[in-house]
Amino acid sequence: MATADEIMEALEDFKEQCNNNKRLRRMQRDWSKVLHYEAADTGDTFTMTVVEGETTRNEMGKHGTPDVVIETDSETMCDMFWGDANPTQKYLKGEIRVKGSQEDVMRIDAITAVIWPEV
Amino acid sequence: MSVIDDILSETDPEKIRKETEFNYREYVNPFALRMFKNASLDIVEGKREGASVWDVSGEKYIDCVTGAGIFNVGRHNTEIVADLKKALDVYDMGGWISILRERGLLAGKLAEITPGNLKYSLFCCGGGEAVEVAVKLARGHTGRRDIICMENGYHGVTGFALPATGRDVYKTPFAPLAPGYLHVPFNNIEAVKEAVTEDTAAVLLEPVQGEGGIIPADEDYLRSLREVCDQNEILLIFDEVQTGFGRTGKMFCAEHSGVVPDIMVLAKSLSGGIYPISCAVFTEDISDFLMTHPFVIINSFGGTSLACLVALATIEYIEKNDLPARAHNMGERFMAGLNIIREKYPDLVVDVRGKGLMLGMEFLDDSIGPRMVYQLRKNGVITIYTFNNPRIIRIMPTLVITEQEVDVVLDALERSLRQIMIQEERFEEGRQK
């Protein structure tokens, strides 16, 4: 089980990786979304705000109206942001639940593919 | 040894898979490959026969995608392949500026089998191109601009077809698009009436929305559409790219309602899954536009000698084997089984619907469609969710599917749902802890 601080740390690392990747910023420039993350086993929640491909902030708790809601256990959530798990594989196996459009699921997978192509 | 000898003589499945994945990763589309692998759809096609396709490693799958209706006559139909081989000994594609006997024969056959007074054909290669021809004919014939299309409709992604497709995700990156396309809710005659203006050239729709989620148009709606079009001198265009050539239990889906469109768009299964061809079939009235503009709609590879011969052989096969009746019968068997499954899994399955062998299963939420695709592959069936509505998976097998194969697909559907049910229970247990 991962703590809220550990997940936040993983989120911040993910944010840095995304924002420092020029290729990713260009690819995602038409993607502005509010994403809510829910750790099913601990009840911790997080909000990630993406504006034109740039992750502008990560916050604890739920803020704003989400375009995408991602729910999984806290360990898997950390693995996802550390690049230790393929989120689409987990989603298709029912270990991650996503409420949102299939296009957004593919965008999230594209981010993972660019940062961690081997995952 | 020629390059083709070289390719065909390679039998090591591992080598073929590695080489193919490498080439996709390096030269085709690495992200598409990743998506295929993630979704467990990374099947490198080897043998193809009847209702099935084999991975190069020898794994057999029943194909319930069939390229969204390309392979009505079965995968690698050997009778049509034999005909093409004979044709290849005599013909090349034929010159597009020449007069081709085969093109005339196919146009005549299409005039014979399409409903009502549909008569002339203009040929292209793909469905989107044929939709473009339909739009051009409608604008050229009426002198008006606007095309009324349906929300969530799908008509391809090329120039004049893309704006007709009723979902922004396909269009937004490519703006500005050709103007003059209005989208209204499907199966809503009042919405069409409200959208009609003096500048309306045509109403364009699929008689069963394919990518929209296998949604059949109500027959009364189609009859009312015909009336509205007649009253306002608007053309009615049916996109039968997915529904044509027996798929829905009639040769053309239009026959269910008895409504005859002014233009019918045909593609996919006209090719026999062997040689690309598509066309727009239209009435004599509309052909007047081509009298004054005979060479404004042209296509180098549309209606070649070889494509037309394959199309003629395909139609002959469909008629000889009465594939529309077969689609109807197998569709009924499917529907009976699907209804039993729906009753067994009411928490996951919301609806099952369709016509003939154009069937869809709708789930409670968007995630179940992609997850079912993943599970079904593991259970020996290839399918895909509908692109405009991922909570629906399509079941569109070849029309030569047997009763036993229908039962195999039904069994795979049930096993896949059971596996998803177990995943859901596990997730809920994790949440409660």
Total domains, chain B: 3
Of the candidates A96, A85, A1, the residue with the CA atom closest to the CA atom of residue B374: A96
Residue type, B174: F
B121 has which bridge partners?
B281
The partner residues of A54 in beta bridges, in order of sequence, read A51
- Statement to judge: residues B106 and B244 lie in one domain: yes
Helices then strands (H, E): number in chain B? 16, 17
The predicted pLDDT at position B16 comes to 97
Compare B107 and A119 and report the one with higher pLDDT. B107
* Local structure of B151: helix, strand or coil: coil
Distance CA B351, CA B229 (A): 32
Nearest to B433 among A41, A86, A113 (CB): A41
The residue to which tokens 């019918």 are assigned: B264
Do B229 and B87 lie in one domain? The reply is yes
Looking at B291, B320, B349, the residue that finishes a domain is B320
Q: Is the residue at A36 inside a domain?
A: yes
Residue A117 lies in a domain: no
Residue of B366, B420, B433 lying closest to A94 (CB–CB)? B420
Evaluate whether residue A118 is within a structural domain: no
Whether B74 is in a domain gets the answer no
- Provide the pLDDT for residue B429: 87
Query: How confident is the model over B73-95, as a mean pLDDT?
Result: 97
- pLDDT band of B433, cuts 50, 70, 90: low
Which domain covers residue B363, as residue numbers? Answer: 43-69+322-432
**CB-based contact, B175 to chain A, within 8 Å:** no
Half-sphere exposure of B110 (CA within 13 A, CB side): 30
In terms of domains, do B206 and B266 share one? yes
Choosing among A33, A93, A111, A118, which should be mutated to test the B contact, i.e. which has the most B CBs within 10 A?
A93
Please state which of the ranges B106-110, B118-122, B163-167, B424-428 shows the lowest mean pLDDT: B424-428
B255 and B156 co-located in one domain: yes
CATH number of the domain bearing residue B128: 3.40.640.10
Instruction: Kindly indicate the confidence band of residue B432, based on its pLDDT and cuts at 50, 70 and 90.
Output: low
Give yes or no: residues B312 and B328 share one domain.
no
Residue B390 to residue A106, Cβ atoms within 8 A:
no
**Of B320, B35, B59, B216, the residue nearest A107 (C-alpha):** B35
Instruction: Give the rounded percent of residues in chain B with a pLDDT score beyond 90.
Output: 93
**What's the token pair of residue B338?**
């699907």
Confidence of residue B296 (pLDDT cuts 50, 70, 90): very high
Using CA atoms, how far apart are residues A65 and B407, in angstroms rounded to an integer?
Answer: 45
Work out the pLDDT band at B430, boundaries 50, 70, 90.
confident
**Is residue A23 a part of any domain in this protein?**
yes
Boundary residue ending a domain (B320, B350, B372): B320
Residue A52 forms part of a structural domain: yes
pLDDT tens digit sequence for A55-80: 999 999 999 999 999 999 999 999 99
Read off the pLDDT of residues B15-48 as tens digits, 9 standing for 90 and up. 999 999 999 999 999 999 998 998 889 999 999 9
Question: What average pLDDT does the structure give for chain B?
Answer: 96
Query: ipTM beyond 0.85?
Result: yes
Please list every residue in chain A whose beta carbon sits closer than 8 Å to the beta carbon of residue B30.
113
Say yes or no for a CB contact (<8 Å) between A92 and B172. no
Q: Are strands A54-60 and A45-51 parallel, antiparallel or unpaired?
A: antiparallel
The H-or-E segment that residue A3 falls in is: none
For residue A29, what is the nearest residue in chain B, using CA coordinates? B173
Q: Tell me the C-alpha to C-alpha distance, in Å, between residue B141 and each of B130, B145, B232.
A: 16, 10, 14
Show the tokens assigned to B257. 């309602």
Answer yes or no: are the C-beta atoms of A14 and A50 closer than 8 Å: no
Q: What is the CATH number of the domain that holds B419?
A: 3.90.1150.10
**Across B228-253, average pLDDT:** 98
Residues B257 and B299 in one domain: yes
Looking at the fold, whether B366 and B412 belong to one and the same domain comes out as yes
Does residue B259 sit in the same domain as residue B361?
A: no
Q: B44 in helix, strand or coil?
A: coil
CATH number, position A84: 3.30.1050.10
Contacts of A20 (CB under 8 A, 6+ apart): none
Give the integer Cα–Cα distance in Å for A18 and B234: 51
Query: Does one domain contain both B232 and B352?
Result: no
Q: Inter-chain contact B31–A113, Cβ cutoff 8 Å?
A: yes
Is pLDDT of B123 > 60? yes
Domains contained in chain A, number? 1
* Interatomic CA distance for residues B203 and B234, integer angstroms: 7
Q: Show the DSSP H helices in B321-367 as ranges.
A: 323-344
> Could you give the CA distance from residue B204 to residue B349 in angstroms, rounded to a whole number?
31
**pLDDT of B277 higher than 70:** yes
- In this prediction the pTM is 0.95
C-alpha of B340 from chain center: 27
Which among B334, B406, B419, B421 is positioned nearest to B376, based on CA atoms?
B419
Give the number of beta-carbon pairs within 8 Å between A and B.
57
Q: Is residue B28 classed exposed, middle or buried when 0-12, 13-18 and 19+ CB atoms within 10 A define those classes? A: exposed
Residue B39 has what pLDDT? 87
Pick from B299, B255, B290: nearest CA to B138? B290
> Per the CB < 8 Å rule, is A30 touching B367?
no
Its sign, for the CA torsion B86, B89, B95, B100, is: negative
Residue range B306-318, pLDDT digits in tens: 999 999 999 999 9
Domain residue limits at A89: 4-112
A109 interaction partners in chain B (CB closer than 8 Å): 34-35, 38
What is the tens place of the pLDDT at every residue in B337-396?
A: 999 999 999 999 999 999 999 999 999 988 899 999 999 999 999 999 998 889 999 999
For residue B117 the two structure tokens come to 């007074």
Report the pLDDT value the prediction gives residue A102, as an integer from 0 to 100: 86
Residue pair B242/B213 in contact by the 8 Å Cβ criterion: no
Distance in angstroms (rounded) separating the CA atoms of residues A111 and B231? 52
Q: Are residues B265 and B358 in the same domain?
A: no
Going by C-alpha positions, the residue among B64, B121, B413, B148 that lies closest to residue B263 is B121
Model confidence pLDDT, tens digit, residues B257-274:
999 999 999 999 999 999
Question: Is A19 within the bounds of a domain?
Answer: yes
Cα atoms in the 13 Å half-sphere on the side-chain side of B408 = 18
> At which of B299, B320, B341 does a domain end?
B320
If asked whether residues B232 and B94 sit together in one domain, one would say yes
pLDDT at B312: 98
Kindly report, residue by residue over B134-173, the tens digit of the pLDDT: 999 999 999 999 999 999 999 999 999 999 999 999 999 9
The segments of chain A whose pLDDT lies below 70 read none
A contacts of B369 (beta carbons < 8 Å): 102
Residue range B214-228: average pLDDT? 98
Are both B341 and B285 inside the same structural domain? no
